[in-house]
């Protein structure tokens, strides 16, 4: 089957994070005839797969990762291979990333290899849980890779250009929930209760100030607030504030969380409230190893691809970050076209032209890795 047909098949059958069972099966069916030495499915109880093609030196391994999950977005694009799954679509191009890794598998399967090549097909990227689960795979625990590489398509960058960023590639982010508990009272006698309203107002004002006054990038985006219940006879007794925090470094994220926690704790104390914190959808900063970014850059130059070296990290997050907390490696982008619809937009579709750009890059990275 043509690799573009595979991409279109994946596009027609998108599955949400945590539900990628058919996608896993499709990938396994494609890989089996390529006779990988190891094919591990249902990695750590999730829908992840690893495939290993052994090399002459069994003590050296390089890993490549693709994410495989889709998004809860209704497809707007008028495509021949439109999503069959209502309300779910591949709007981040993970169908394309999967096709790239499958194409790469086909290229290396029946050639001699100087070292082991590990392919990671990772589910649950959009929710930030997948990489952590893949890191528990038998394969990675046994064959600790000497390096790991991954990529993402980048709308807005010229089609087929390799987008390179030294140091941080993508930001750390986390959903941060502040819960304030006071006491309800009759609305006619609010002074007999503890209303969290003033604390909420001050916490919002001060956390937004962090963002506007920051000299290094620190973002505190207000997402949601709730104070009390819709009942005009009752003075509010509790409240919730939800923020999304972002930083370009993991150390910066730790500091930012501490700062927001301190503000909330101080206001809670001032207004006699109890306070609790919760986190959701947390991603580490994707901090590249520069030596491996150089390998990516040389590979792109060898292949005569355009190279865009960017200086500002992407503000979005990528759970590939978790692999780089354990292994050396780097992540890069491939341009999806300057006027291409953005990631997560209803009319976005992965450009098929860059499938071979991605698989050729992985091949070239392999060649350069031990030069
Ligand atoms: Zn995405
Ligand atoms: Zn993505």
Could you read off the pLDDT of 355-364 as tens digits, one per residue?
Answer: 999 999 999 9
- Mean pLDDT of the 51-73 span: 97
Distance 128 CA to ligand 1 centre (A): 10
Distance 92 CA to ligand 1 centre (A): 5
For residue 40, how far is its CA from the centre of ligand 1 (angstroms)? 25
Tell me the pLDDT of the chain averaged across its residues: 96
**Cα distances (angstroms) measured from residue 348 to each of 81, 155, 227:** 13, 9, 37
Average pLDDT over residues 260-289: 97
Q: How confident is the model at residue 371 (pLDDT cuts 50, 70, 90)?
A: low
What percent of the chain has pLDDT above 90? 94
How many angstroms does the Cα of residue 228 sit away from the middle of ligand 1?
34
Residue closest to 151 by CA, chosen among 289, 296, 51: 296
**Residue ranges per structural domain of the chain:** 3-168+285-369, 172-283
Calculate how far, in angstroms, residue 316's C-alpha sits from the geometric centre of ligand 2.
10
User: How remote is the CA of residue 152 from the centroid of ligand 2, in Å?
Assistant: 6
Distance 231 CA to ligand 2 centre (A): 42
**If you measure from the C-alpha of residue 212 to the centroid of ligand 2, how many angstroms do you get, rounded to a whole number?**
28
| Proximal ligand: closest to the CA of 89 | 1
Provide the pLDDT for residue 1: 75
User: Picking from 17-31, 73-87, 292-306, which range would have the lowest pLDDT averaged per residue?
Assistant: 73-87
- pLDDT at residue 212 above 80? no
Among the bound ligands, the one closest to the CA of 96:
2
Ligand 1 center–CA 338 separation, angstroms: 18
Closest ligand (CA of 95): 2
CB atoms within 10 A of CB 222: 13
Distance between Cα 110 and ligand 1 center (Å) = 33
Alpha carbon of 236 to ligand 2 centroid (Å)? 40
How many whole angstroms from 354 Cα to the centroid of ligand 2? 15
**CATH of span 3-168+285-369:** 3.40.630.10
Please tell me the distance between residue 324's alpha carbon and the centre of ligand 2 in angstroms: 17
What pLDDT digit, counting tens, does each position of 235-246 carry?
Answer: 999 999 999 999
Query: How much is the average pLDDT of 123-151?
Result: 95
For residue 114, the CA-to-ligand 2 centroid distance in Å is: 31
Measured in Å, residue 319 CA sits from the centre of ligand 1 at: 10
Distance 126 CA to ligand 2 centre (A): 7
Q: Give the per-residue pLDDT at 18.
A: 96
CATH of domain 172-283: 3.30.70.360
Q: What percent of the chain has pLDDT over 70?
A: 99
Is pLDDT of 44 > 90? no
| Nearest-angstrom CA–CA distance, 246 and 33 | 44
**Ligand 2: distance of its center to the CA of 226 in Å?**
31
**Is residue 286 scored above 70 in pLDDT?**
yes
| Distance between Cα 201 and ligand 2 center (Å) | 35
Do 3-168+285-369 and 172-283 show the same overall fold? no
Q: Does residue 215 register a pLDDT over 80?
A: no
Tell me the CA–centroid distance for residue 344 and ligand 1, in Å.
Answer: 6
What is the β-pairing status of strands 168-170 and 238-247?
unpaired
Around Cβ 181, how many Cβ atoms within 10 Å?
A: 14
Average pLDDT over residues 280-299: 96
* Distance separating alpha carbons of residues 318 and 173, to the nearest angstrom: 9
Dist. CA 360 → ligand 1 center (Å): 23
CA of 2 to the centre of ligand 2 (A): 23
């Amino acid at each position: 089957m043509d690799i573009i047909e595979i991409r279109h098949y994946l596009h027609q059958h998108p599955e949400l994070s945590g539900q990628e069972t058919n996608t896993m099966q499709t990938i396994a069916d494609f890989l089996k005839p390529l006779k990988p030495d190891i094919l591990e499915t249902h990695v750590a109880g999730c829908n992840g797969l690893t495939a290993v093609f052994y090399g002459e030196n069994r003590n050296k391994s390089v890993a490549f990762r693709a994410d495989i999950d889709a998004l809860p977005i209704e497809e707007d694009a008028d495509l021949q291979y439109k999503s069959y799954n209502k309300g779910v679509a591949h709007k981040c191009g993970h169908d394309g990333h999967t096709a790239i890794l499958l194409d790469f598998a086909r290229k290396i399967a029946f050639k001699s290899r100087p070292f082991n090549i590990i392919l990671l097909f990772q589910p649950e990227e959009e929710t930030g849980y997948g990489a952590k689960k893949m890191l528990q795979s038998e394969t990675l625990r046994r064959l600790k890779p000497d390096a790991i590489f991954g990529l993402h398509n980048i709308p807005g960058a010229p089609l087929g250009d390799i987008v390179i960023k030294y140091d941080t590639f993508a930001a750390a982010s986390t959903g941060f929930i502040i819960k304030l508990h006071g006491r309800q009272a009759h609305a006619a006698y609010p002074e007999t209760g503890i209303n969290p309203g003033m604390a909420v107002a001050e916490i919002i004002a001060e956390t937004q100030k962090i963002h506007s006054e920051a000299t290094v990038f620190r973002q505190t985006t207000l997402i949601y607030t709730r104070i009390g219940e819709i009942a005009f006879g009752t003075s509010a007794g509790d409240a919730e504030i939800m923020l999304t925090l972002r930083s370009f470094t993991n150390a910066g994220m730790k500091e930012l969380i501490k700062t927001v926690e301190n503000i909330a704790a101080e206001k809670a104390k001032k207004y006699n409230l109890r306070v609790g914190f919760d986190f959701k959808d947390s991603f580490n900063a994707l901090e590249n190893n520069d030596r491996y970014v150089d390998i990516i850059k040389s590979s792109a130059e060898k292949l005569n691809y355009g190279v865009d070296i960017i200086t500002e990290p992407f503000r979005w997050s990528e759970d590939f970050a978790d692999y780089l907390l354990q292994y050396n490696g780097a992540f890069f982008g491939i341009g999806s076209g300057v006027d291409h619809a953005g990631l997560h937009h209803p009319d976005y579709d992965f450009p098929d032209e860059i499938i071979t750009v991605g698989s050729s890059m992985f091949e070239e990275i392999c060649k350069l890795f031990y030069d």
